Amino acid sequence: MESKRQRLELSYNLSPVSGELHFSSEDIFGELEIDVPLNTSQWQKNINDKDQKKYDTYLDQLTNSKGAKSEKYRITLPCGENILVQDRAGLIEQKDRWPIISGTISEVALEQEQMEHIEKLSLMGNLSAGLIHDFKNLMGGVQNIIEWCILESNPQPSVSSALAKTIDYLDQANALMVGLLKLNENAENESPVAIRLDKLVKDFEMLLKHICSAAIRVELKIDSNLKPIMAHACDMQEIFLNLCVNSRNAMEAEGDSLIVDLRNVVKDGKPFVCMSIIDNGCGIPDEKLGRIFDAYYTSSGKGTGLGLWMVRKKVREMQGDVEVKSKVGVGTTFTVTIPASEIVDSRTRSQSVDKEDLSATTIASKTSFTGGETILFVEDEPLIHSSVCQWLESLGLNVLAAQDGNTALKLFEENEHKIDLILQDWILPGVKGEDLLAKFSASENEMPIIVMSAYSGAIDNSGILSMGASSYLPKPFKINQLIDLLKDYLK
């Protein structure tokens, strides 16, 4: 429990010449368990390490310029709690005496500050989601062109192998982008669903390895046939990443191993799923271990102190529990235990990329469309548009190509009874993707419709199928994946 104390409200006078500091009251310092600061150096020892430079700049502005100034910074108490304060002050000239800096220090409600921070993060998340979408499109175009070049140029085996390796690197980059996009998904208004923690963790494996330094070895230990749990996927993502980041921070000075252990367990005759995050970092002292789940408490003096508090809150909402075991100099283990569910995982994981044979010559020999089938292809990204068009035409298909919704609708109306299949992007200029899908799916021709998108959070497989699509193809995709779908529909 957080100890209740007097709110920090002080006025002070500071001599910019000697650095002497005088506060209006000294009682609050006893409650905060810090020595009464007699000068700026002693006061600055209480300021959070990350805010030291900010405070230095603030003092310099107060000393060398007229007018009132204001700055926010954090005070770190001996117990590890961070207090956010607003310091307002100004330089006062005195006749025949040295000037003084007079000001007030007031504690800021962290809830308000956190809300402002959350709003900023939300804006950054929305902007980054758009950038990641565009980046995934560019990766997809490059990947498709490389595949086409392998087929058309018939390179030497060493060159073909190098190009195939390049595609593998693009796969890894895509896995990283998928992890970043999932962090921006929001499911607050959705009901919990059955999810598999092994699938969720594997989705974030590439992102986790980038979060950790190269000196940290990341290892996954996963039970076969891991049972699903009922949860919001976004909640489990936050829990997993918060615990992993906490372990990473504990290994900044010592430690080199982060293990994610997922297993089925039975407690009191009931099935549970356990997730342990194990590190061999610095460990947590016993006197701090009992407070690490308190709101705004941080054992390291870094961050907001809300991460582990949020972890316990969300785990308890799932009728689960979280435990921690730690020893200084040995490491820390966080174990989350959540009731297992008998409901099968309801999410379709079409984003997973199989490690296929990347030889493009196998594609050409396996596939040949010779019936003069016509495809309406709608894609606004120039790189993907040109590369996929080349592929479709090289496979013997007639392609009606559009780069915006208006052109696509016009081509459809002019050729409705000639079109055998539609391959459309979801985010388009002009007529929107959902409006195109509604128009296409209402056709008497009943042609199959494949919807593509680089926005993993914009649509989901089950939702897009209920709107009339035949399949959903996440971008970037390999040509093999597209051809497999074409073979299913163009028999």
Pairing of strands 449-453, 421-425: parallel
pLDDT, average across residues 193-214: 84
Token pair listed for 349: 């994981």
CA atoms within 13 A on the CB side of 110: 16
pLDDT, average across residues 328-343: 92
Q: Is the pLDDT of residue 405 over 90?
A: yes
Q: What is the H or E stretch that residue 12 is in?
A: strand 9-14
Pairing of strands 257-267, 270-279: antiparallel
Query: What domains sit in the chain, N to C, each tagged with a CATH number?
Result: 9-108 (3.30.450.20), 123-186+367-491 (3.40.50.2300), 189-344 (3.30.565.10)
pLDDT per residue as tens digits for the range 218-238: 999 999 899 999 988 778 888
**Residue 217 or residue 305, greater confidence:** 217
- What mean pLDDT value characterizes the chain? 82
Query: What's the per-residue H, E or C state across 366-377?
Result: HCCCCCCCEEEE
Coil, strand, or helix at residue 142? helix
**Residue 322 or residue 65, greater confidence:** 322
The dihedral sign for the CA sequence 467, 473, 479, 481: negative
Which of 148, 123, 106, 113 is CA-nearest to residue 361?
A: 148
Residue 175: pLDDT band by 50, 70, 90 thresholds? low
β strands within 77-207, DSSP E? 82-94, 97-107, 193-195
- Return d(Cα 395, Cα 148) in angstroms, integer: 11
Overall residue count recorded for the chain in this entry: 491
Q: Are 490 and 373 in contact (CB under 8 A)?
A: yes
Read off the amino acid at residue 422.
I
Tell me how crowded residue 306 is: count the other CB atoms within 10 A of its CB: 18
Tell me how crowded residue 41 is: count the other CB atoms within 10 A of its CB: 10
Residue 364: pLDDT band by 50, 70, 90 thresholds? very low
Residue 384: pLDDT band by 50, 70, 90 thresholds? confident
Q: Is the pLDDT of residue 349 over 50?
A: no
**Torsions phi, psi of 374, nearest 5?**
-115, 130
Q: Is the pLDDT of residue 71 over 70?
A: yes
- Return d(Cα 468, Cα 99) in angstroms, integer: 76
Residue 159 CA, chain-centre distance (Å), reads 35
Q: Are 201 and 222 in contact (CB under 8 A)?
A: yes
Largest distance between two CA atoms of the chain? 100
Q: Are 147 and 392 in contact (CB under 8 A)?
A: no
Sheet of 374-378, strands arranged across: 398-402, 374-378, 421-425, 449-453, 471-474
Q: Are 222 and 273 in contact (CB under 8 A)?
A: no
- Return d(Cα 139, Cα 135) in angstroms, integer: 6
Q: Which residues pair with 112 in a beta bridge?
A: none
Token pair listed for 38: 């007699």
Give the range with max mean pLDDT: 20-29, 142-151, 292-301: 20-29
pLDDT per residue as tens digits for the range 287-331: 888 888 876 666 655 555 567 888 898 899 899 999 999 999 999
Q: Are 340 and 271 in contact (CB under 8 A)?
A: yes
**Residue 33 or residue 119, greater confidence:** 33
Give the range with max mean pLDDT: 328-342, 378-392, 447-461: 328-342
Q: Is the pLDDT of residue 395 over 60?
A: yes
Token pair listed for 380: 């606004």
Residue 337: pLDDT band by 50, 70, 90 thresholds? very high
Q: Is the pLDDT of residue 424 over 90?
A: yes
pLDDT at 361: 37
Q: Which of 74-78, 94-98, 251-255, 272-276 has the lowest mean pLDDT?
A: 94-98
- Return d(Cα 82, Cα 330) in angstroms, integer: 26
Q: Give, to the nearest 10 degrees, the angle between helix 157-182 and helix 233-250.
A: 110
Q: Which of 187-191, 244-248, 287-291 has the lowest mean pLDDT?
A: 187-191
- Return d(Cα 112, Cα 79) in angstroms, integer: 23
Q: Is the pLDDT of residue 142 over 90?
A: no
Q: Which residue has the tokens 């650095």?
A: 19
Residue 441: pLDDT band by 50, 70, 90 thresholds? very high
pLDDT at 290: 83
Which of 222, 231, 224 is CA-nearest to residue 194?
A: 231
pLDDT, average across residues 243-259: 90
**Torsions phi, psi of 77, nearest 5?**
-80, 160
Token pair listed for 406: 């208006």
The dihedral sign for the CA sequence 124, 128, 129, 131: positive
Residue 363: pLDDT band by 50, 70, 90 thresholds? very low
Tell me the Cα Rg of the chain. 29
pLDDT per residue as tens digits for the range 90-135: 988 877 788 889 999 998 876 555 656 655 665 665 566 666 767 7
pLDDT, average across residues 30-53: 90
pLDDT at 346: 44
